[in-house]
């Protein structure tokens, strides 16, 4: 059976810096394409899928700077690439861009059959198609420029909700989304200060203590990792 191909902007090995898997050695697969339009996004180079930016995996992997270039790969070929690069991490983080623009069932099922664990980082604005074993991190994007609505099925699939915050309105938005979930389906809640601003961090810490939620800091940025 032919596997669905993926448009990949970047592949690298590092430590997961956010959420429940903080500190875990991970292989990051960054997919190209995202129409959501978050103003604070730190990967805007992944937004557009321009045909003139299609390149080879060799050229993309050789880059050491942010680029809108991408390459097409099947899940099986992606694992060949991991071997070529000598990666040893056994946790795969599929991010973007918006990874759920793609059908990720082939990739995640193959990963688990090969002994990997998988995680998807998504905005929750697209249907999540993946293995039932995949850890799903939903970072809700509400009232963004792209005009996409949060999907209730994405919230129900979430193992953790990692919500970017800077002010009370962000908590109000999160509370509104949480009303869509039954009491027996409550994911872990992480608050992540937007752009690591001190004011946003202080607000997130205070709210986490008040609500018995968890704090997610982008620890990879603090220690200088990709």
pLDDT single digits (tens) 7-52: 999 999 999 999 999 999 999 999 999 999 888 788 999 999 999 9
How many other C-beta atoms can be found within 10 angstroms of the C-beta atom of residue 74?
16
Count the alpha carbons within 13 Å of 69 in the hemisphere toward its beta carbon.
14
Q: What tens digit of pLDDT does each residue of 70-109 get?
A: 999 999 999 999 999 999 999 999 999 999 999 999 999 9
- Residue 131 pLDDT more than 80? yes
Decide if 66 contacts 97 (C-beta within 8 A): no
Across 52-56, 196-200, 221-225, which has the greatest mean pLDDT?
52-56
Binding-site entries for Mg(2+): 43
Binding-site residues, please? 15-17, 30, 34, 38, 40-43, 95, 97, 139-141
pLDDT > 60? residue 223:
no
Give the residue-averaged pLDDT of 133-145.
89
pLDDT of residue 188: 97
- Overall average pLDDT of the 208-214 stretch: 97
The Cβ of residue 167 has, within 10 Å, a number of other Cβ atoms equal to 11
Note the pLDDT of residue 145: 78
Reported as half-sphere exposure (CB side, CA atoms, 13 A), residue 65 has a value of 1
In the block, tokens 């795969």 appear at 92
User: β-strands 135-138, 91-95: how paired?
Assistant: unpaired
Report pLDDT digits (tens) over 157-176: 999 999 999 999 999 999 99
Give yes or no for residue 180 having a pLDDT over 60.
yes
Task: Give the residue extent of every domain in the chain.
Answer: 6-163
What is the reported pLDDT for 112? 98
Give SS3 for 22.
coil
pTM: 0.93
pLDDT at 137: 98
- Give the per-residue pLDDT at 107: 97
Residue ranges at the known binding site for substrate: 15-17, 30, 95
Report the share of the chain in percent with pLDDT over 70: 95
Residues β-bridged to residue 122:
138
Residues at the binding site for S-adenosyl-L-methionine are 40-42, 97, 139-141
CATH number for the domain formed by residue range(s) 6-163: 3.20.20.70
Binding positions for [4Fe-4S] cluster are 34, 38, 41
Question: Locate tokens 């793609």: which residue?
Answer: 102
């Amino acid at each position: 059976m032919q596997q669905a191909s993926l448009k990949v902007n970047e592949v690298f090995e590092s430590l997961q810096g956010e959420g429940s898997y903080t500190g875990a050695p991970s292989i990051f697969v960054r997919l190209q394409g995202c129409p959501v339009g978050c103003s604070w996004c730190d990967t805007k180079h992944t937004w557009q899928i321009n045909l003139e930016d299609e390149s080879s995996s060799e050229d993309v992997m050789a880059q050491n700077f942010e680029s809108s270039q991408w390459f097409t790969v099947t899940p099986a070929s992606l694992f060949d690439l991991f071997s070529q690069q000598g990666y040893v991490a056994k946790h795969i983080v599929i991010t973007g861009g918006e990874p759920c623009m793609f059908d990720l069932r082939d990739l995640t099922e193959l990963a688990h059959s090969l002994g990997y664990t998988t995680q998807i980082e998504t905005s929750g604005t697209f249907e999540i198609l993946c293995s039932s074993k995949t850890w799903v991190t939903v970072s809700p994007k509400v009232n963004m420029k792209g005009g996409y609505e949060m999907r209730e099925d994405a919230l129900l699939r979430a193992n953790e909700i990692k919500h970017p915050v800077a002010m009370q309105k962000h908590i109000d938005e999160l509370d509104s989304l949480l009303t869509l979930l039954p009491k027996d389906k409550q994911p872990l809640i992480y608050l992540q200060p937007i752009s690591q601003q001190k004011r946003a961090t202080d607000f997130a810490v205070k709210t986490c203590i008040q609500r018995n939620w968890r704090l997610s800091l982008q620890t990879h940025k603090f220690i200088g990792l990709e």
